[in-house]
Amino acid sequence: FISSRGYGEYFGHGLGHGVGLEVHEYPAICSRSEQKLREGMVFTVEPGIYVPGIGGVRIEDTVVVTTDGFECLTSIPKQFKQLSL
């Protein structure tokens, strides 16, 4: 999605990480990860873009893996607004 909107070069971070006792935990959620997600694992999905000289944005959801997929634990609604720079 980010690349299709022309911002792929500004997406330089992983997609997320595990959540538990520490702020950032194993597993790293990225294209190089070989970790298989298992039921009960909690992790973030937080794509972000950072454009030099302008700024950046990162929207984060916390999700838990369930027997038949996942459940989003984040309850904040997302409404996107376009800002003029």
List the one residue out of 40, 41, 44, 38 whose CA is nearest residue 62. 44
> 64 burial class (0-12, 13-18, 19+ CB within 10 angstroms)?
middle
Q: What is the pLDDT of residue 85?
A: 67
Stated length of the chain: 85
Q: Is the pTM above the cut of 0.95? A: no
CA–CA separation, 36 and 23 (whole Å): 20
Task: Report pLDDT digits (tens) over 47-60.
Answer: 889 999 989 888 89
User: Taking CA 72 as the corner, what is the angle to CA 47 and CA 31, rounded to the nearest 5 degrees?
Assistant: 35
User: Taking CA 35 as the corner, what is the angle to CA 20 and CA 70, rounded to the nearest 5 degrees?
Assistant: 60
Task: Report pLDDT digits (tens) over 21-30.
Answer: 877 788 878 7
Bigger pLDDT: 34 vs 46: 46
Domain ranges (residues) in the chain: 3-72
